Amino acid sequence: MIHALRGMKDLIFDDARRYEYIIQTLSRIARNYGFEYIETPILEETRLFKRSVGESSDIVGKEMYQFTDKGGNDVCLRPEGTAGVVRAFVQAKLDRQQGQKYRFFYHGPMFRYERPQKGRLREFHQFGVESFGEKSVEEDFTLIVMLAEIFEALGIRTRVKINSLGCTVCMPPYRQRLVGYLEAIAQELCPDCQRRIATNPIRVLDCKNEQCQNLLEEAPKLSQELCEECDRDFTRLQKLLTDAGIAYEVDTHLVRGLDYYSGAAFEFVSDEIGAQSAVAGGGRYDRLVEFLEGRPTPGVGFAIGIERIMELVRMPQERREGWYLGAMTPEALDRLLPLARQLRRSHRVVVEYAPKGLKAHLKGADKANARYCAVIGEEELSKEHIWIKDLEAREEKTVPLKELEEIEAQ
């Protein structure tokens, strides 16, 4: 037997239903917020991710699904969704449309070559949005509201964490002060953090190591050293959230650790899934378009890890739906096929091709989760009639076939 690759999983039955329901729900909400669908390739040049996700990140450093294709190109299965969308944005020259706003949503598989463990697959799925051209803090607010609505719609209880990552004015001096603080305590930090002091000091702040976290309690906090403009935006964001009735906490250790991130950063966490608790993360990346050779364009977005929330989603109750059509003789089947075609214009229809008795068809209809079981036997055929049972109301009747052909419009 050929198995799926390690760390890759089929979505089937309940998983598939959940996945489809999540994507439909999120797509509907994204459209209501003015976002439109974008699809970008799963395979991209490796240097796209090196430049956007950053060489010092774990994703690029250790987890890239990278290989050389037959043409000798260094390519990579996308580890996240933002880089491809920004590349597409620049490639379509949308960065040259000064003052225009573009809002996109995407969903699909992402790949990271890491050691498979619970909650970590090599192929996983994300849903995300990216908003370009809107610098206002109201857009940050709107994305957070949108996430709150998404989790409410899915029946998942979450907490919201926010932070500000400053700008090119206030971040560099802060980073210097932080490096000074970290160098003084370097001996006591975990090996990862020791390495990060030189490569990516901001990332030290969100180290999951408990000893590191304790040592960082006294570290300088950017939220207290923001420039006037960043401080005004961050204060306004908090006021908007409070006015909207969205409870949040300011988490000064919530960082994204890449140079192009600035301003608002946010994360939604669920306490129902333990240590891997972030279910969505996002923030502003006003310099990313420049990093990918576009003209400076403000941007903000978020991504949701679908596998992380799959088990938590409260699914709507499944209901019987549509029609099951069955024949008791070969001649009756010939009469059913055009009927099925007619009904399928607006109804879910399952046809059993093998002629069977009534009892067998009722069983089939139940298994197909159909609302109606409709059967034609010899007698019905001679009168142009059809026997119908409503499996929900448990009522049955025989009606002229014509009548059924006309329900198509309903």
Q: Which residues form the interface with Zn ion (CB under 5 A)?
A: 166-167, 169-170, 190, 193, 207, 209, 212, 227, 230
Closer residue to Zn ion in complex, CB, 190/340: 190
Taking the complex as a whole, the smallest distance from the CB of residue 286 to Zn ion amounts, in Å, to 11
User: Nearest distance from residue 189's CB to Zn ion, in Å?
Assistant: 5
Closest to Zn ion by CB, 150 vs 230, is 230
Q: Which is nearer to Zn ion, 39 or 188 (CB)?
A: 188
Give the nearest distance from C-beta 258 to Zn ion in angstroms: 16
- Of 199 and 382, which CB lies nearer to Zn ion in the complex structure? 199
Residue whose CB is less far from Zn ion, 26 or 167: 167
| Residue with Cβ nearer Zn ion (15 or 58) | 58
Dihedral sign, Cα of residue 139, residue 141, residue 147, residue 150: negative
Q: At closest approach, how far in Å is the CB of 167 from Zn ion?
A: 3
Closest CA relative to residue 34, chosen from 133, 97, 105: 105
What is the closest distance, in whole angstroms, from the C-beta atom of residue 263 to Zn ion in the complex?
Answer: 8
3-state secondary structure string, the chain? CCCCCCCCCCCCCHHHHHHHHHHHHHHHHHHHCCCEECCCCCEEEHHHHHHHCCCCCHHHHHCCEEEECCCCCEEEECCCCHHHHHHHHHHCCHHHCCCCCEEEEEEEEEECCCCCECCECCEEEEEEEEEECCCCHHHHHHHHHHHHHHHHHCCCCCEEEEEECCCCCCHHHHHHHHHHHHHHHHHHCCHHHHHHHHHCHHHHCCCCCHHHHHHHHHCCCHHHCCCHHHHHHHHHHHHHHHHCCCCEEECCCCCCCCCCCCCEEEEEECCCCCCCCEEEEEEECCCHHHHCCCCCCCEEEEEEEHHHHHCCCCCCCCCCCCEEEEECCHHHHHHHHHHHHHHCCCCCEEECCCCCCHHHHHHHHHHCCCCEEEEECHHHHHHCEEEEEECCCCEEEEEEHHHHHHHHHC
- CB of residue 277 vs Zn ion: minimum separation in angstroms? 18
CB 116 within 8 A of CB 82: no
CB 152, min distance to Zn ion, A: 32
Looking at the Cβ atoms of 255 and 374, the one nearer to Zn ion is 255
Give the nearer residue to Zn ion in terms of CB position, either 190 or 360.
Answer: 190
Q: Which residues contact 278 (CB under 8 A, 6 or more apart)?
A: 267, 268, 269, 305, 308
Q: How far is the CB of 193 from Zn ion (least distance, A)?
A: 3
Given the complex with Zn ion, which of 3 and 208 has the nearer CB atom? 208
Nearer to Zn ion among residue 139 and residue 307 (C-beta): 139
CB of 146: closest distance to Zn ion in angstroms?
25
Q: How far apart are CA 162 and CA 307, in angstroms?
A: 23
As measured in angstroms, the least distance from the Cβ of 285 to Zn ion is 15
